[in-house]
Amino acid sequence: MKSLLTSLFILNIRTSISFTSLLIGLAIITGCSASPSTTTSPSSESPSTSVHTEHSMSMDHIGTTATAPEGSVTKRPTQITTPPQTITSKMINLTAQTSYLEIEKGKYLPVWTFNRSVPGPQIEVTEGDIVTIHLKNKLNVPLSLHVHGVVLPNDMDGVPGMTQDAIQPGDSFTYTFKANHAGTYWYHSHQDSLNQIGKGLYGSFIVKKKQDSVSADHTLVLDEWSDPNTTAPESESNTLAINSNLGAYNIYTVNGRSGKSIEPIVVHQGDHVRLRLIHAGNMTQTLYIHSPAYRVTATDGQDINQPQVLKNGLLVIAPGERYDIEFTADQVGLSWIGMVGESTFAQSVRIPILIEKANSQPTATEIEQQITAHQAQMVSIPDGNQATLDLTTYGQPTTSEFTLSSAFDREYTLDLDMGVIDGKMSYTINKEAYPQVSQLKVKTGEAVKITLINESKNEDHPMHLHGHSFEVLSKNGQSLTGSPIWKDTINVRPGDTYVIAFRANNPGMWMVHCHELHHASMGMMTDVIYEDYKSQYQPDPEAGNISE
């Protein structure tokens, strides 16, 4: 037992997983109880215990973890995923169905797909378009569709038990909304999302500007997978406890491809290139951008004012976040994006960016030969003090809607932590776990300020607000000195405090939750409720709605 604990502790340091989560996993393995130093339980007299009378959903999943992943197979299955397509129509048909993803050469992972691909098809529309998505469910479980980051009507938000019933097997649902704001977004199931996104139910949603200067536009969706049939080096084996789910993330992918199967980005000299980074997984990742001159031009679909030129820098991207990177392909040769980390999992993520001569059309074999010739260059991150992008100082100041001294109609503080609630290990907001967490009440037109404090010792909490974008006003007591930063997902790292603000201009019932979905499924969720809004939706108690 002592040797097991020692091995797990060493593993925990290597993989940046909280020791508290480690003890949870160890407790389940050994049959012992594990409790943090501070335990809380809500008072039976607390007014927050009846806060969810406005909607109905199953809460049986709260405090549970991810289901055990199905293992990969080596025999080629009959149904294999196809490469993701790009849909440019404003009328989109999506079908959820099972398939197998060739996640490595000769290794096939059972997945759930939209239109038989992982990621699902990239949906591309233009700002101002009226978009209609018709979703057919051919799975044997209910599901839904949430378009993450797009400000849309409440009844189109795709949260089972709050805005709609989960779409039952064999049924369909149609989502219609206007794509008002250009930017990088993504869509995914919001029914039992820890497991359903984990099986592949997601895709990119791109709203293009009516006029755009880029000549090459590429989307990169990051994810992590658990495959019990993939064996990692002994020093990195993490099949006992990771991220509270007793499962190993031992395959990292870009657009559904891993390792040497990751497709290169091929552009031409003179191209103005945009790379859209989307994080669909559950682990905060650091990327090394090997480029002599690039800018981070947007985050979460919101432009950054006059971003400075960066060189060979680091970018931290958390679950649910998006970043746009732009550069001009000046010199023929190879640039690349690499994931930072000592593990082979991280080192396997190398995205080649091949700049070819203008008007050249290299064959697939020629591209592969060029990348192979530079393979050694991409193995490790160069030594030195690469700068990590700090959004609080990046770009140039300009007028914006809020400051710390603005008058706010409502102010809330959300302390993010862990605790034992009703005998279950939970991720908490203000010492409570969903659905007991007090709701954030607002009225249309109000200015709302929220202070987010991460009390966790080792775990990030990327907090996502549905239906709105918010302005980041300060970090750890310091106001932003660069561009105004608007986001819908903000990563609150251990010990950090952020103050954010938004205008309550989209009436409805909206979720606020951690997009590290183990945390959400274990209680780190609450709701923004407009007091002057009355929903017409009546939940079906038999629908099996799971809002997380």
pLDDT of residue 375: 81
CA neighbor of 143 nearest in space, from 89, 78, 198, 204? 198
Positive or negative, the CA dihedral 400, 403, 405, 409 is positive
The pLDDT of residue 2 is above 80: no
- For range 269-284, the mean pLDDT: 97
Q: Label each residue of 77-133 as H, E or C.
A: CCCCCCCCCEECCCEEEEEEEEEEEEEECCEEEEEEEECCECCCCEEEEECCCEEEE
Whether the per-residue pLDDT at 247 is higher than 50: the answer is no
Least confident of 118-127, 297-306, 329-338, 439-448: 329-338
Residue closest to 28 by CA, chosen among 281, 232, 233, 242: 242
Assess contact for 127 and 90: CB atoms under 8 A.
Answer: no
% of the chain with per-residue pLDDT over 90: 75
Q: Which CATH superfamily is domain 213-389 in?
A: Cupredoxins -  blue copper proteins (2.60.40.420)
Answer whether CATH 2.60.40.420 is correct for domain 47-64+395-530: yes
The predicted model gives 104-130 an average pLDDT of 96
Between these two residues, 50 and 290, which has the higher pLDDT value?
A: 290
- pLDDT category, 38, cuts 50, 70, 90? very low
DSSP-based three-state secondary structure for 335: strand
For 345, list phi and psi in degrees, rounded to 5: -60, -50
155 φ, ψ (degrees, to nearest 5)? -75, -5
pLDDT score at 65: 58
* Residue scoring higher pLDDT (24 or 176): 176
> Residue 319, preceding bond cis, omega within 30 degrees?
no
Angle between helices 2-15 and 19-30 (to 10 degrees): 140
Q: Is the dihedral of CA 438, 443, 444, 447 positive or negative?
A: negative
Q: How far apart are the C-alpha atoms of 294 and 327, rounded to whole Å?
A: 5
Burial 473-491 (b: 16+ CB within 10 A, else e): bbbeeeebebbbbbbbbbb
As a whole number, the mean pLDDT across the chain is 87
Domain ranges of the chain: 47-64+395-530, 70-212, 213-389
Q: In sequence order, which residues have a C-beta less than 8 Å from that of residue 233 and are 6 or more positions away?
A: 344
Q: How many CB atoms lie within 10 A of CB 9?
A: 14
Lowest mean pLDDT among 140-144, 266-270, 367-371: 367-371
**401-424 average pLDDT score:** 96
Residues 502-532 have pLDDT tens digits of: 999 999 999 999 999 999 999 999 999 999 9
Number of C-beta neighbours around residue 376 at 10 A? 8
Of 169, 174, 147, give the one whose Cα is nearest residue 159: 147
Mean pLDDT of 413-438: 95
pLDDT of residue 378: 84
Predicted confidence (pLDDT) at residue 192 exceeds the cutoff of 90: yes
Does residue 210 surpass a pLDDT of 50?
Answer: yes
Which of 290, 277, 369, 364 minimizes the C-alpha distance to 320? 277
Q: Of 150 and 27, which is predicted with more confidence?
A: 150
- pLDDT the model gives residue 4: 34
The amino acid at 45: E
Confidence check: pLDDT of 374 > 90 = no
Confidence of residue 66 (pLDDT cuts 50, 70, 90): low
With cut-offs at 50, 70 and 90, classify the pLDDT of residue 381: confident
> 230: how many CB neighbours lie within 10 A of its CB?
19
Length of the chain: 548
431 contacts 40 by C-beta, under 8 angstroms: yes
Say if residue 43's pLDDT is above 70. Answer: no
pLDDT computed for residue 384 by the predictor: 64
Residue 305 has pLDDT above 70, yes or no: yes
Does the structure show a pLDDT above 80 at 404? Answer: yes
- Sorted by sequence, the CB contacts under 8 Å of residue 77 that are 6+ apart come out as 100, 108
Pick the CATH number of 70-212 from 3.40.50.720, 3.40.50.740, 2.60.40.420, 1.10.10.10: 2.60.40.420
User: What is the arithmetic mean of pLDDT over 220-244?
Assistant: 65
CA distance 462 to 416: 11
**By three-state DSSP, how is residue 358 classified?**
coil
The pLDDT of residue 232 is 62
Average pLDDT over residues 336-364: 91
Q: What is the pLDDT of residue 16?
A: 37
Dump strand ranges (E) for 179-321. 183-188, 202-208, 216-225, 251-254, 265-268, 272-279, 285-290, 295-299, 302-303, 313-317
**Residue 347: pLDDT band by 50, 70, 90 thresholds?**
confident
Q: DSSP label at 200?
A: T
Are 47-64+395-530 and 70-212 in the same CATH fold?
yes
Q: Residue 364: is its pLDDT beyond 70?
A: yes
